[in-house]
Amino acid sequence: MSKKVKIEFISKGFEDILCSEGAGQICEQKAKEIEDRANSGLTAKDTEGFRSGGRIVKAYGSKRWMYFIYTTDAATMYAEKDDQTLSKAVN
């Protein structure tokens, strides 16, 4: 029998760590690695490629860095739709 577990972070220090410059740099590095893998899988030559960007957001009950990798044009949209280029880069 499975039970749901809810973790609530009530420490201001924990949120400070999640919003720190170091945490942001780690997230940015990982997002850039995924972006690079996705762009290396593109076959279309006339494209801007996938891009990443991040910001501090309120999610899961506290503030934290969150990065996103997104499509920039039709070529990257079709690459994800047809070949799951970005999804494969994440895994």
Which residue ranges make up each domain of the chain?
A: 12-90
pLDDT of residue 68: 95
Kindly write down the DSSP assignment for every residue of 40-83, as one continuous string. HT---SS----EEEEEEEEETTEEEEEEEEE--SHHHHHHHHHH
Alpha-carbon distance values, 29 to 24, 26, 34, 81 (Å): 9, 5, 9, 25
What tens digit of pLDDT does each residue of 34-58 get? 999 999 988 878 888 999 999 999 9
Give the strand pairing for 51-59 and 62-70: antiparallel
Q: Does residue 61 register a pLDDT over 70?
A: yes
CATH of 12-90, one of 1.25.40, 3.30.300, 2.60.120, 1.10.3470: 3.30.300
Q: Is the Cα dihedral 81, 76, 39, 32 positive or negative?
A: negative
Mapped onto helix, strand or coil, the DSSP state of residue 18 is helix
Q: pLDDT grade, residue 15 (50/70/90)?
A: confident
Tokens of 40: 């290396």
